[in-house]
Amino acid sequence: MECRAGAIWDDGYLAYDFGDHPLNPIRLDFTMRLARSLGVLDRLELRPAHAADEQQLLTVHDADYLAAVRRASDDPTFSGYGLGTTDDPVFAGMYDASALVAGGSAAAATMLWRGEFEHAVNIAGGLHHAMRGYASGFCVFNDVVLAITTLLAAGAKRVAYVDIDVHHGDGVQAAFYRDPRVLTISLHQDPRTLFPGTGMASEIGEGAAEGTAVNVALPPGTNDRGWLRAFHAVVPGLLRAFRPDVLVTQCGCDTHHEDPLANLELSIDGQRAAIAALHQLAHETAGGRWLAFGGGGYGLVRCVPRTWTHLLAEATGVQVAPSTPIPAEWTKHLRDIGYQGRLPESMGETVLRPYEPWQPGGEGWLDGAIAATRRAVYPLHSLDPDDPRD
Ligand SMILES: [Zn+2]
Ligand SMILES: [Zn+2]
């Protein structure tokens, strides 16, 4: 099945650069080079990004925070509003670089809603930790919230957001915690063991939005099969019940077993299966409208380029087989710029074995976490938490 896909790309994305920091924008360049070498970019339309203007950003952030980011862009000694910290150090041009990423995600939302594409991807987006009034977790402006707000303003009645980053999608959840039009689902490493410390099953939304915040807190060490079991036990049932106009996904790949910042154990192949499942669910539950963002991912060479190339390929409807060799020109580029570490050899890593579907009454941390999430929100969607078919 070929799909009409667009991606937003701008070399200006590489200016979102905290310096000596785990989030290195070179991962985006490595991804685009790999996708180009494999012919993936030939099958989708690339569009440039334009910086989000102040009026757009004010729909997501407070005016005094925007002023602070502007000041920080010119003043390397600035601190406050979460800026000038180890996680979010200030850098010259921070405002413009952040506004460009946000503008890219907003543009992807607009193009998608107009029907220019069935699927739109912004791999620089997915900055899900930024809050209304402060920076957090490497995120300055919350491009995801801007994209969803853009969809709602354009006429979308219901938007579902699925966040598969290893960290809780706290900024997006917070923005829509009392808004029943937006279903946020985040699968992440248990927050008692990882930043940002929120995202337990008990966080379900408030008021009329009860049940529209969903959290699956996965035990450290969760592998492909466990992760996919949890995903399929929670996400398809909720999306089928919610029937969104658009499926928005944050596809952070810091769930990888080599990721330096977290402790899940997914392979490239598990991440690819997750992305394929999201694509299928967009067609099944959201009229095919799928807006996909990047997110975390600190395996700059061995993880991000492969997984997000799979994301771009998935959006075109033409997958790249895991056995596909890494193109020699990509490898040569990495060596030419002086990279001396171990390079990937093919687009996959492992043979993905089928997962055991979740059943009620299972023992252990993972099945307990799945059951806790289902019990917390399934009844609010008229679904049976104990019926594995729901
Ligand atoms: Zn499709
Ligand atoms: Zn993350």
176-231: per-residue pLDDT in tens?
999 999 999 999 999 999 999 999 999 999 999 999 999 999 999 999 999 999 99
Q: Which ligand has its closest atom nearest to the C-alpha of 44?
A: 1
**Domain assignment of residue 92, yes or no:** no
Quick check: 110 pLDDT over 80? yes
Q: Which ligand has its closest atom nearest to the C-alpha of 296?
A: 2
182: enclosing H helix or E strand:
strand 182-189
Half-sphere exposure of 150 (CA within 13 A, CB side): 26
Contact 322, 284 (CB under 8 A): no
Contact 286, 120 (CB under 8 A): no
Q: Which ligand has its closest atom nearest to the C-alpha of 284?
A: 1
This prediction has a pTM of: 0.98
Q: Which ligand has its closest atom nearest to the C-alpha of 315?
A: 1
Give first-to-last CA distance, the chain, whole Å. 27
Q: CA–CA separation, 214 vs 200, rounded Å?
A: 9
Q: Which domain range does residue 242 map to?
A: 5-48+98-381
215: CA distance to ligand 2 center in Å?
15
Q: What's the mean pLDDT when you consider all of the chain?
A: 98
**Domain assignment of residue 121, yes or no:** yes
User: What's the average model confidence in pLDDT over 81-90?
Assistant: 98
Nearby residues of 364 by Cβ (< 8 Å), 6 or more positions away: none
Q: CA–CA separation, 26 vs 207, rounded Å?
A: 42
C-alpha torsion sign, points 279, 283, 286, 290: positive
387: CA distance to ligand 2 center in Å?
31
**Domain assignment of residue 326, yes or no:** yes
What per-residue confidence (pLDDT) applies to 363? Answer: 86
129: CA distance to ligand 2 center in Å?
9
**Domain assignment of residue 21, yes or no:** yes
83: CA distance to ligand 1 center in Å?
39
**7 DSSP β-pair partners:** 46, 121
Q: What percent of the chain stands above pLDDT 70?
A: 100
What is the longest distance spanned by two Cα atoms in the chain? Answer: 57
Q: Write down the catalytic residue from 119, 129, 167, 256.
A: 129
**Domain assignment of residue 23, yes or no:** yes
Q: CA–CA separation, 148 vs 166, rounded Å?
A: 21
Q: At residue 198, what are phi and psi to the nearest 5 degrees?
A: -120, 170
204: CA distance to ligand 1 center in Å?
30
320: CA distance to ligand 1 center in Å?
15
Q: At residue 186, what are phi and psi to the nearest 5 degrees?
A: -125, 125
Residues in the chain: 390
**Domain assignment of residue 57, yes or no:** no
282: CA distance to ligand 1 center in Å?
8
CATH number at residue 39: 3.40.800.20
Q: Which ligand has its closest atom nearest to the C-alpha of 317?
A: 1
User: Which stretches of 82-145 are assigned E, i.e. beta strand?
Assistant: 119-122
Number of domains in the chain: 1
Show the tokens assigned to 354.
């089928």
Amino acid at 41: L
**163 DSSP β-pair partners:** 186, 250
**Domain assignment of residue 62, yes or no:** no
Contact 107, 8 (CB under 8 A): yes
Among left, alpha and beta (phi > 0; psi -120 to 50; other), residue 288 is left
Which residue in this structure is represented by tokens 């938490």? 385
* 129: annotated active-site residue: yes
What per-residue confidence (pLDDT) applies to 106? Answer: 98
Amino acid at 168: H
**Domain assignment of residue 61, yes or no:** no
pLDDT tens-place string over residues 352-376: 999 999 999 988 999 999 999 999 9
278: CA distance to ligand 1 center in Å?
10
* Res. 11 pLDDT band, cuts 50 70 90: very high
List b or e across 29-61, with b for residues whose CB sees 16 or more CB atoms inside 10 angstroms.
Answer: bbbbbbbbbbebbebbeebebebbeeebbeebb
